[in-house]
Each structure stands twice: as structure tokens, then as C-alpha cells.
Structure 1
Amino acid sequence: MYSFEQLRGFVAVAEELHFGRAAERLNMTQPPLSRMIQKLEREIGVRLFDRDNRGVAITTAGAAFLVEAKRLLALAESAPDLARRISRGSVGTVRIGFTAASAYGVLPGLLDHLSRTVPDIDVDLYEMVTREQIEGLLTHGIDLGLARPPFDPDEFGSRLLRREEMVVAVPTGHPLADLERPLRPEDLQAEPLIMYSTTRARYFYDLVVGIVPVFHENVVHSVSQVLTIVWLVSARRGVAFVPRSTTLLGIDGVEYLPLVTEPRRPVELHLLWPRDSQNPALHAALRALQTLPVED
């Protein structure tokens, strides 16, 4: 097998087309350079140069080999720097899980921030509900989550990214829109309610039942995704409690009404990561995200 030293010798001769000048460029004498090229030709089984009294000319096979030799040398020279950058986390891949609702507003800003601050880190995106994100983080299927509380602080590091109001989505023209004041829980007790699933959207389910008494007979649908809920509201199937960021969806046939709650901004979204992660790119991304402002 040929060596990188042989490749450097070959490239020097190919570019100079003169063994003497190539040897001087490599800080060596001509005889060992000639022997190096002869050995390289034997090892790869082709003639790389035509030599006669008039000089040196590269063969067709030699010209093709020159392209690959330069590529191999460039890779060899860049490999140590690449390894060091990977070790520092300045290159690599971060896999981010996100809820559908978190994509409205927070995710684009987070991706833009990473692109500016750590541009050589690749980002892979996975849409998941919070429960799926927790499982993915524990098994290291993803590196970061945009998820809802609660979390186990022994397993996960977390940082609050957004705190926002809960509003009421109603079909356009609904009588509640005529009240011209923030809604109170008692305004909604008789309304058909599009509710969150107790298993796949537990965070929002618990949040809603903590705000307003939910009577089973009032629930017309139970689903897990905010987008589905808003589509059902637009179809006049009922009313629903959604985060204020849902207004960014721009779905026709829906109005969003303010709601009196305590606290005023009960909906939280957190950045979440496994404490035992060994991915250097994750730690570089976390350092970059320290300067991402909290939306409050």
C-alpha cells in the first residue's frame, strides 16, 4: 500500500514535471524521489510518468491518479482539525424533538439562533408529543426536546423558553365573542368542549382541568394535537383552550378570546436534554442557546 509521503512526492513531480525541482521543493535529493515514484508505480501497477532525455511527462493514468492523490492529501490534512472540532462540538449533529405547538414561534427562532452561532452543527428535527420526547431523550434517540413539564431533574437538564397565556378558541361569530371582556371559567361551563387526550396530551389536559371544571358530558372530542383541535373548532364542533401562540396558525373560521387565569401565563415550554449525553455537539448547542431570550 502506498503512503502519504509517496503521494506528496508524486504530486510534486506531476506539478513540476521535473524531478530536480520537485526534490528541491520537498527538501530531499533527486535519487530517493525517483526511487519513491518507481515504488509507487509498482504498487499501483501503472506507469505514472513518461521519462526520456527531453524531460518528464505525466501519463493519462497519472493525470487521473493526480486528481485522487490531491483529494486524499487534502482529506489527510483536514482530518486532525475535523477530529478536534468534533471533540469541541463545533461540528456534528443535534437531533431536536418538538411538539407541534412549539413549532409556532419558538422553533424557528431557535433554529435561526443555532444557524448564526454554531453554523457547522447540523440539526435533525423530529415531531413528537412530550411523552415521546421523554422516551427519546432517555434512549438518546434525540438530543434536545421542546417539551412541556413536569420533568425528572435527576435525568434531565432544562431551561424555560416560553411562558404564555391560555386563550379560548371559538368558531367565528360565537356568542362568547360578544361579551367584549376576558372570559371567566363560569362562561364556559355549558359549552361543548374539544378536549386534550389524557394520555397523549397530559400536560394540556391537566392545565385545562385546573382552570375550569370539565364535565364529561360536555366533551365532544378528545385529541392530542393543537392543530387538530383548532380545525375542529373551525368546523364548529365546539370550543377549546389553546396556547396564545396558536393564533399564528391563521386558520379561517376561528376567533381567539382572552381568558382570566391564575397565573396569567400558565403555559410553559422548556428546552430539555439528558444530563448524561456524551454528544459534544449538544453541549456546544447548549452553550450557544444560553443567549436565546426567554419569551415571557
Structure 2
Amino acid sequence: MHPVYVLLMLLHCQVNASSILVQGVVGESVSLTADLPQGFVIREILWKHLTSKEEIVATSFKGSVETLYRSRFLERIGLLSNFSLQISPLELGDSGTFKALLVGTEGQLLIRILQLAVYEKVSKPTIGVFISGTDLHHISESSCEVFLTCSTQNGSGVSYIWRREDGTLRNESYSFLDGGKVLRVQLEPSDRQASLSCTVANPVSHESTAVTPWSICQGKTDDKATACEYKYLLFIVLPLLILFFAAAVPGLIYFLKGSGKKTLKDAENGIEVDENASSIL
């Protein structure tokens, strides 16, 4: 009987299995180690990816290695000399559970279960600052409520951490929205020089960006943040854009129809039009 089928039958055996968490990065490689006990000599090994199909991804029997099984890891997987499973390059969809079944030269059976978590590295975040007040000039010397948004173009499993350079945020002056992506903060004149930073992080990377939001309250901007009044955007810019398109579309349709009718009429009257002439005298 083929050794692979022998290992498959051993799946039903009651054997204690250990579980190990392994983290990887998109585009890089990772090695899943069987973690053999001292003195254990492998005769056969079978690696499986535990999906609904429980795909076999690699096997070894008395030194004969096979990795060309039709799984998502085809041509991205290898079995190292120490029987570790190497995957390269990693993809986000590679996250999941892997099982190694190891048969020793004395007939022992070991099972190793590994949880692979693949992450994409985060990129440097961008902070946007939005003012809740009605008039930038009226709030420049008093309290100023602002909303700070933090976003990153790349990254998976991202968490958002806000910090104040000169200490922690006062509980009564801030709140978090949208899972920490948005920070609402009440600024006072004493916060003129206060710098707030947003850190985006996951288990394999982290990046930070800082801004001084009081400068936005004074009607100033810098290269890291932009000021924007919600009422201006909602009640002025948006209606103007709608009116512009509403007026432009009928005019364009009328022009196209008129142009088509004129061409048809000229053709019926036998008029030849010189394409190089700008007008007909």
C-alpha cells in the first residue's frame, strides 16, 4: 500500500497534537517547522492544508519528496531537509491551519498543528483634519472641535492608536469613532502646540504620522493635513455640481441632435462640405 494512504488511515488515530502560531508577511517566505522531539527519526511525513477539502501539499517517504499536489500552493511550496514546510512567496489567502503527520522509524506517530496568519505590511498613514465649527475665524481664539481621520493604503489586520506628544489624551476631551480610524477631540487655546499622532499597526509592521490640529482651527494648513468645513461641502459645493451637470446634459443632447439633422439635410440637398473650410459663404 502506498505510504500516503497509510498516513491517511492514521488520521483516525487518537494522538495528542500540539498547536503553534506562525506569522508571515505577504510577498515573503515562511517555514512551518514540525518541531520534532529529541531522538525522533522520521520515516514518513505528510503535510496538509486544512480547508474543506483538507488538501495534501507535500509528502516524503524514505527520502522521496513530492510537492506537486494540485493545491493553491502549487509551485510555491517546498520541503526542506529538516522536513519543514516552506511557502514562498506568501499570499493573504494562505492563512489557515496546517497539519503535519509524522511517522518515526520505530512506528511512532506524531501530529503537529500550526496556525499560519499572513499579513500585509502597513504603509505610512495619512491624517485628515475636519473642523466641526461654522466659521474658522470665530473659533480661532476659543475652543475648537475637530475630527481627525487616519487611513493607510496598505495593510491587513490594522489597528489604530492615537497619542498626544506631551501626554495622554484627556478622557473628557476625545472619543473614538469607526473602530479608532476617527478621533474627535476638543481643543483649547492651551493646545496650540499640541501634536497628535496616529499609529497604524499589525503584528508584522507599524507606521506613524503626526499633525498639529490647532493650526487648522486658525485657518492654516500644512502638507500633512487639510481643513474642510462639512457645511460648505454639503450645502454649497455639492448643489452647484448637481446644477452644473443638470444644465450641461440637455444642452449636449440638443447639440448632438442638431448636428445630426444638419448633416442629413445637407446630404439630401446634394451640398458638398469642404472639411478644410471654416464656413460656407
Q: Report if TM-score (shorter chain) is over 0.5.
A: no
Q: From the two aligned structures, give the one with the greater helix fraction.
A: 1
Q: Which protein has greater RCO, CA pairs closer than 8 Å, 6+ apart? A: 1
| Structure with a larger share of its residues in strand | 2
Normalised by the size of structure 2, how large is the TM-score? 0.26
TM-score, normalised by the number of residues in structure 1: 0.26
